[in-house]
Amino acid sequence: MSDKPSVLFVCGHNAGRSQMAAGWLRHLAGDAVEVRSAGSAPAGTVNPAAVEAMREVGVDISDQTPKLLEYATAESSDVIVTMGCGDACPVFPGRRYEDWRLADPAGKGVEAVRPIRDEIRVRVERLLRELIPAG
């Protein structure tokens, strides 16, 4: 891992879970971590309920666009966090992988997305502590 670790969050549509995780990590880590997100079958836009849920806690992801998971992006990431992308997620030796089993916010309202948002924050905070220990 380089001095500035890179984290790639991957889910199916890159419209909910991975966008919220990337938003949390950018918000909490600043420029200490390179943050990436992608999807195996990206949607056209980020889930509006995910945007609203994140806005409620002061994190703006409204400017994000779902992106297709590319081989080079995954290969050059230090940590790859998958969230339901299935067999589409490539595996590279020497990379750290985590699979976060989280409910899919697709088609759900903001009330149903809030607990997913909060669970993602807890996991991102843990990941950040492991990547950049305090001291």
Q: How far apart are CA 59 and CA 103, in angstroms?
A: 20
41 is annotated as an active-site residue: no
- What is the phi-psi region of residue 24: left when phi exceeds 0, alpha when psi lies from -120 to 50, beta otherwise? alpha
Catalytic residue chosen out of the listed positions 85, 116, 124, 131: 85
Among 89, 116, 120, 128, the active-site one is 89
Residue type, 79: V
Catalytic residue among 8, 11, 35, 127: 11
**Residue 11 annotated as catalytic:** yes
Active site includes 89? yes
Q: Which residues are catalytic?
A: 11, 85, 89
